[in-house]
Structure 1
Amino acid sequence: MDSLWFAEATKNSVMGMAAKELAWDQTPLGRPSTWHPALRQAVQLCFSTTFPVMIAWGPEYTMIYNDGYRDMLGTDKRLNAMGRPSKEVWAEIWDYVGGLFEEVEQTGRSVGEVDQLLVMNRSGFDEETHFTFSYSPITDETGAVLGILNITSETTASVVDRRRLKTIDQLHATMTEHRSSITGLSAAVLDVLRDSDDIARAELHLAEGGDLVLAGATDLVHSELVDAEVVRRAWTSRLPVSLSPTLVAPLSRADEQAAHGVLVLKGSVRRPYDAAQRAFLMLVASTVSAALGAATDLRREIDLLNAYAELAAREAERTRESSVALQHSLLTSPPEPDHLHIVVRYHPASDDLEIGGDWYDSFLTDDGSTVLVIGDVTGHDHHAAAAMGQIRGIIRSIAYDRGEVPSQVLMRSDNAIHGLNLGQTATASAIVARIEQDRADLRSRVRTIRWSNAGHPPPVILRADGSVEVLRRQNDLILGIIPDHQRHDFTIALADNDTLIFYTDGLIERRNRTMTASVEALVRTLENRQDDDLDELCDHVLTTLVPGRADDDIAIVAVRAYPQDEPRPPEAGPNENLPPELDDGDVGTTSV
């Protein structure tokens, strides 16, 4: 049991309770009852204040922090930073932070910064952040530095807001100087936006002769930010189009019948595409629109902007909910081919705002073949869910009626993705597999698995003797990158009572663990589980590898082959077809 001082110190805060529940004896600090008096005093201070405080103790700079500091850890790091070495938690900024820690430890003096820029990955992307902080030594009675007290405040919002307001002020000043010339005004606007850290790229389209003409851009890249049809739609409808992280905004006044043009703005990828960024981009567009329209009430535009941002946020939530419903409607039940038992599992990420692109599929083709598909669309939002539905439908349609090998199915799917212009979000890793059986296979009591892998984690086979084989073969390029990309097929024998398993990376990938180690963990989980029925096996894999919260979507497809000269086991469903007779006729290749 933890000592009374620790229970008292941690009882009044969320992170205090989390610290109390942590198995400290499994950390470098050991049990709280053994902690140095200086550490105890620092911990009592940490959990007694609402100001953000973090303690980095010992050679590993093991972290202890309060509720205020937790909010600065983002969506990813806050889940497991307590009791971990600072170098692991802040690996991407350790070159900077670690140097300051060493300076405090060596000199015994405090160091600090104001509005320090740090590019950290705390919520799934490289994010621009700013902090005002002080690192102070925690010493023993001899003056030896035992740890570091970090008192900090995140100033990102204020720094970014000041910078964005400066951009708006520069636009006002510059456009005032060039009101007499549309050409000069356009060039001045692009000059300001080119220098803004909050605008990754901008295009200005102006109405001319009944059409839209590109007046200029902030760089020399010839590719368009968005499709020309989207720009035209914003112009003719006079309604903005939000395509994260890009805003397509018409330049018009409420009392005019037509827009002066369209401003396409891509926000900084190092800031989240949230209501604040959308509001800033809309404010830029309205400022330019006011100058082009000659006298727009800017205050009224800002009020309208705030109302639009709230409406856009609600619409985004409705879109996410629709995407979830679409995703689940696509996860259909597997078929029941004779003497094959197929079981599927799908577990969405625990965070209900994370809409993923994982999918599975299994179906019987026009010629009676059994086809298995597993895939993972790049991204975790409603765009990924929509792309998943499109790519799944393409693969299913192509594989259904031609009897082509998996590599050809994937190559034709590549071509369809590009030919239909599905966009940059339509990229995915995937495996397509076909279960075959010719006369020799039938006599040998095996099936042939023929598969092609587009950048997906390797499938595994749980053999009937309890051993596990990882099917590491050449991985081809993921789908949606290059049309007509040459792909490869591989084959392997699946004997009676063998089990083939496909899965998405959410099942095995973990932070700070290599893919090889992740696959090995799956192998250990499957070894000697050959006697489990297929549903029990899938449930065992899930509960063992993902015992708590899932950080990513998980999809599994498992198929087990049963002897064809015996009745189909009850758990596999009813017999649908009898196996072909072993006569002397030339029956060629059959599909199962």
Structure 2
Amino acid sequence: MPDTWLARATGTTPTGVLARSVDWASTPIGSPRSWPRDLRAAVRICFSTEFPVFVAWGPERTMIYNEGYSRMLGTTKHPGAMGAPMADVWADIWDSVGPLVDTVTSTGRSLFFEDMRLLTDRSGFLEEAAFTFSYSALRDDRDELAGMLCIVGETTDRVVASRRFETLGTLSTSLHRVKLDIELTAKVAADVLRESPDVTHAEVHLCTSGGLTELLSTHPGPDGGAPGTGPVPREVLERVCASRVAERFGTTLVEPVSAVLGDAPVGVVALTGNPLRPDDEAQQLFLHLVAASLGNALAVALTHQKQVDDLQTVSSALQAAMLPADPGSPGWHTRYRPADDRLAVGGDWYDVVPLGSGRFGLVVGDCVGHGLGAAAVMGQLRSAARALLLQDLSPAATLDGLDRFASTLPGAECASVVCAVVDEQARTVTYSKAGHPPPLVLSATGPRWLEDGTGTLLGLAPGPRPEATATFERGETLVLYTDGLVERRDEGLDDGLARLARIAAATVAERPVDQLGDLLIGTMLDVGARDDVALVVYEAR
């Protein structure tokens, strides 16, 4: 129908070519000159505004729309939608909007919807779109419901942008909460991205000397099970890791993750966007921001982990240097358990020093406090005690020397120490105690304590230290220990000593002596006990 016909019928001239090729007389709504007043008014509104508007009239909901609405129809629906039944034009979403149209045209009630999400094919692919619109009923000249007027605005860009911004915000906040923890970083990132409709798949691989190692994957495995192989071939991931240059594989962005300091590649992030949205500049920018946020968090966590590992290596080496080597002689068994299970050492110490001719110097001590501070003091006291014993000093003279040394070492005062020299040929043990619990001797006739040679805590001796000598027979066992093995907050020291004697005697009667140390620590210590324990066991042969 010529534009002039429509102009005379509606009082307006439609822009462009919207109505030029339609033979309106052959449509169910007939010639414009016969249109009811409401229809002519609605069509007049259509072609007098730039806002997207369409009219659906008659039993078949024949569509008339303006230039603004034509852009909303896309290339697969316009211009064929002009004069066509609405159900045919929007067949792909008719299950969603058809009942709404029926409600308006049967009841006359107006409907309004905000940001309704619909999946439609209007540009050659199935895409997600969002619309805010109103449906208003139109009546014919007999005042009967005959059609409807739709005023609509597409809000897809705003809805998707807002949703993507929310994903970025949630990801950033979640990663900040678990910063510096590589495993938690991967977990929270996977949790956030699985919930995002704008990230179909995410995976992270770490670049190691042995090749790529998967850290994170949101790709479901077979039958929806554990994560499986992602959409990016391994050779692409390896190439990006080696070149440190981002690539696109189809709709998937593959970006390298570099260390915080320096350009060394530490990983690769691969992100696939929403297939229901165009793979346009906006989606690519969103994926890049997600990759940058995730990559930065991973780089910081990996850098921190490396620093911690380096410090732990140094710390472990230093702590190992504080502990003596295994005595390496038959009959000697040692055990050590620090109160802080994050450390290899604590404030307690022991040493077994070969002195030649079947003689061994022993020292077991307990510094005040726990942790690295006490361990540092312990290390110096152990070294000093070893040096004094190697001068072939007696146990009492060794403690006298430690008294003088402790006066120059802050934190060493009030340490408890027992020093002894075992002579295997003479079958004697000479000992001196500085405020330390007595050594225990286990024999076939029962346990006994070496209670002589007792003096005050280190640094508090008023004069020369006393010492005593005891003999022991073949098959007897000597046990030196620190108070962490026997002391409890809710009982006296005598109770702890009695428990030690009972358990140790029963153990050596039934088991080899080399198992005594582990069994004592396992049975004497309460679950969660927080005190250092040092233990030296000697079996006379």
Q: Report the TM-score, using the length of structure 1 for normalisation.
A: 0.47
Q: Distance in 2 between matches of 1:229 and 1:219?
A: 18
Give the letter aligned to residue 246 of structure 2: P
Which residue does 1:211 correspond to in 2?
Answer: 211
Whether the aligned pair in 2 keeps the contact of 1:199 and 1:266 (CA below 8 Å) is: yes
Distance 1:264 1:146, change over 3 A: same
Deviation at 1:48, TM superposition (A): 0.2
Whether the aligned pair in 1 keeps the contact of 2:109 and 2:136 (CA below 8 Å) is: yes
Say which of 267, 278, 292 aligns to 1:272.
278
Q: Distance in 2 between matches of 1:78 and 1:253?
A: 51
- SS of the aligned residue for 1:183 comes to helix
Which residue does 1:49 correspond to in 2?
Answer: 49
Whether the aligned pair in 1 keeps the contact of 2:118 and 2:128 (CA below 8 Å) is: yes
Whether the aligned pair in 2 keeps the contact of 1:60 and 1:85 (CA below 8 Å) is: yes
Q: Distance in 1 between matches of 2:229 and 2:24?
A: 54
RMSD: 2.0
Q: Distance in 2 between matches of 1:130 and 1:100?
A: 16
Give the letter aligned to residue 229 of structure 1: E
Deviation at 1:130, TM superposition (A): 0.7
1:62 equivalent to 2:68? Answer no
Give the letter aligned to residue 66 of structure 1: N
Which residue does 2:25 correspond to in 1?
Answer: 25
Distance 1:12 1:33, change over 3 A: closer
Which residue does 1:411 correspond to in 2?
Answer: none
Give the letter aligned to residue 264 of structure 1: A
1:193 equivalent to 2:200? Answer no
Which residue does 1:74 correspond to in 2?
Answer: 74
Deviation at 1:18, TM superposition (A): 2.4
Which residue does 2:182 correspond to in 1?
Answer: 182
Q: Distance in 2 between matches of 1:35 and 1:13?
A: 20
- SS of the aligned residue for 1:200 comes to strand
Give the letter aligned to residue 41 of structure 2: Q
Residue by residue, what CA displacement relative to the aligned partner does 1:280-327 show, whole Å, maximum 9, x if unpaired? 1111001112222339xxxxxxxxxxxxxxxxxxxxxxxxxxxxxxxx
Give the letter aligned to residue 261 of structure 1: G
Say which of 300, 322, 328 aligns to 1:294.
300
Deviation at 1:168, TM superposition (A): 0.3
Q: Distance in 2 between matches of 1:235 and 1:282?
A: 16
Q: Distance in 1 between matches of 2:96 and 2:243?
A: 49
Q: Distance in 1 between matches of 2:112 and 2:169?
A: 31
Which residue does 1:155 correspond to in 2?
Answer: 155
Residue by residue, what CA displacement relative to the aligned partner does 1:111-167 show, whole Å, maximum 9, x if unpaired? 121111111111122211111100000113543111110001111111111110011
Which residue does 2:250 correspond to in 1?
Answer: 244
Whether the aligned pair in 1 keeps the contact of 2:3 and 2:13 (CA below 8 Å) is: no
Q: Distance in 2 between matches of 1:255 and 1:50?
A: 54
Residue by residue, what CA displacement relative to the aligned partner does 1:205-231 show, whole Å, maximum 9, x if unpaired? 112336321112113322331110111
Which residue does 1:225 correspond to in 2?
Answer: 231
Deviation at 1:2, TM superposition (A): 4.6
Whether the aligned pair in 1 keeps the contact of 2:138 and 2:148 (CA below 8 Å) is: yes
The equivalences for 1:69-468 within 5 A come to 69-209=69-209, 211-221=211-221, 222-252=228-258, 256-294=262-300
Residue by residue, what CA displacement relative to the aligned partner does 1:58-113 show, whole Å, maximum 9, x if unpaired? 00001111111111112211231111100001001112211011101111110121
Distance 1:210 1:3, change over 3 A: closer
Deviation at 1:5, TM superposition (A): 6.0
Structure with the greater alpha carbon radius of gyration: 2
Gap runs ≥5 in structure 2: 222-227, 302-541
Q: Report the TM-score, using the length of structure 2 for normalisation.
A: 0.52
Which residue does 1:477 correspond to in 2?
Answer: none
Q: Distance in 2 between matches of 1:61 and 1:253?
A: 62
Whether the aligned pair in 2 keeps the contact of 1:3 and 1:32 (CA below 8 Å) is: no
Which residue does 2:409 correspond to in 1?
Answer: none
Q: Distance in 1 between matches of 2:270 and 2:285?
A: 14
Deviation at 1:204, TM superposition (A): 1.1
Give the ranges of 4+ consecutive aligned residues of structure 1 lying more than 6 Å apart after TM superposition.
none
Whether the aligned pair in 1 keeps the contact of 2:217 and 2:230 (CA below 8 Å) is: no
Q: Distance in 2 between matches of 1:83 and 1:35?
A: 14
- SS of the aligned residue for 2:263 comes to coil
Deviation at 1:29, TM superposition (A): 2.2
Whether the aligned pair in 1 keeps the contact of 2:266 and 2:299 (CA below 8 Å) is: yes
Give the letter aligned to residue 258 of structure 2: S
Q: Distance in 2 between matches of 1:125 and 1:280?
A: 21
Which residue does 1:575 correspond to in 2?
Answer: none
- SS of the aligned residue for 2:278 comes to coil
Deviation at 1:255, TM superposition (A): 6.6
- SS of the aligned residue for 2:82 comes to coil
Share of identical aligned residues, percent? 43
Distance 1:3 1:67, change over 3 A: closer
- SS of the aligned residue for 2:113 comes to strand
Whether the aligned pair in 2 keeps the contact of 1:114 and 1:133 (CA below 8 Å) is: yes
Deviation at 1:254, TM superposition (A): 9.0
Whether the aligned pair in 2 keeps the contact of 1:2 and 1:33 (CA below 8 Å) is: no
Give the letter aligned to residue 220 of structure 2: L
Deviation at 1:243, TM superposition (A): 2.2
Q: Distance in 1 between matches of 2:239 and 2:168?
A: 26
Give the letter aligned to residue 287 of structure 1: S
Q: Distance in 2 between matches of 1:46 and 1:281?
A: 39
Q: Distance in 2 between matches of 1:200 and 1:51?
A: 34
Which residue does 2:7 correspond to in 1?
Answer: 7
Give the letter aligned to residue 226 of structure 1: V
Q: Distance in 2 between matches of 1:168 and 1:107?
A: 44
Whether the aligned pair in 1 keeps the contact of 2:257 and 2:265 (CA below 8 Å) is: yes
Gap runs ≥5 in structure 1: 296-592
Deviation at 1:194, TM superposition (A): 0.7
Q: Distance in 2 between matches of 1:78 and 1:259?
A: 50
Q: 242-251 vs 187-196, which deviates more? A: 242-251
Whether the aligned pair in 2 keeps the contact of 1:168 and 1:284 (CA below 8 Å) is: yes
Whether the aligned pair in 2 keeps the contact of 1:73 and 1:122 (CA below 8 Å) is: yes
Q: Distance in 1 between matches of 2:57 and 2:246?
A: 51
Deviation at 1:10, TM superposition (A): 5.5
Whether the aligned pair in 1 keeps the contact of 2:37 and 2:141 (CA below 8 Å) is: no
Deviation at 1:275, TM superposition (A): 1.1
- SS of the aligned residue for 1:135 comes to strand
Q: Distance in 1 between matches of 2:123 and 2:51?
A: 22
Residue by residue, what CA displacement relative to the aligned partner does 1:542-574 show, whole Å, maximum 9, x if unpaired? xxxxxxxxxxxxxxxxxxxxxxxxxxxxxxxxx
Q: Distance in 2 between matches of 1:23 and 1:239?
A: 58
- SS of the aligned residue for 2:163 comes to helix
Which residue does 2:368 correspond to in 1?
Answer: none
Whether the aligned pair in 1 keeps the contact of 2:114 and 2:133 (CA below 8 Å) is: yes
